[in-house]
Every structure is written in C-alpha cells, then in structure tokens.
Amino acid sequence: MDSREYLIELRTSTGMTRREFCEYFEIPYRTLQDWELGNRKMPDYLLRLMAYKAKMEKLAEEKN
C-alpha cells in the first residue's frame, strides 16, 4: 500500500470528511486533495505522525 492509499484509509477510518480532516490536522484542503489524488507525494514522516495522533486520540478505528 502506498502513502496515498494509506492516507485515504486513515481519513476514512476517522469518519471525517476531507474538510474536517484538514481542519483537525491544520492542513490546507488543496494540499490534502493533491495528496489523495496522487498529484503530490506527502512526506512519509508526516503520515506516520498523523496516524500516531489519530491512534492516541482514538480517532481511527482499530483493525483486528
């Protein structure tokens, strides 16, 4: 799974829309849109930090 797919999965697991996700993580909407569409590649460290924050704040649903 590439970072684009993982980002989409992370966002959907939180139950947030793109707009809500952007506001929560303080990311410009257009940037997130470009990452999800594959127009730009997001830094791997940022994706890991976002996943960690979502997990610690129990936003993302855990997979069993």
Residue 11: which CATH number?
1.10.260
Report yes or no on 18 lying in a domain.
yes
Report the distance separating Cα 42 and Cα 44, nearest Å: 6
Report yes or no on 41 lying in a domain.
yes
b/e string for 1-10 if b means 16 or more Cβ within 10 A? eebbebbeeb
Report yes or no on 63 lying in a domain.
no
Residue 63 in this model has a pLDDT that exceeds 60: no
Containing domain of residue 20, as a range? 3-56
Report yes or no on 22 lying in a domain.
yes
Digit-coded pLDDT (tens) for 9-50: 999 999 999 999 999 999 999 999 999 999 999 999 999 999
Residue 64 in this model has a pLDDT that exceeds 50: no
Residue 51 CB neighbours (<10 A): 16
Report yes or no on 33 lying in a domain.
yes
Report the distance separating Cα 31 and Cα 39, nearest Å: 9
Report yes or no on 19 lying in a domain.
yes
Band (59; pLDDT cuts 50, 70, 90): confident
Domain total for the chain?
A: 1
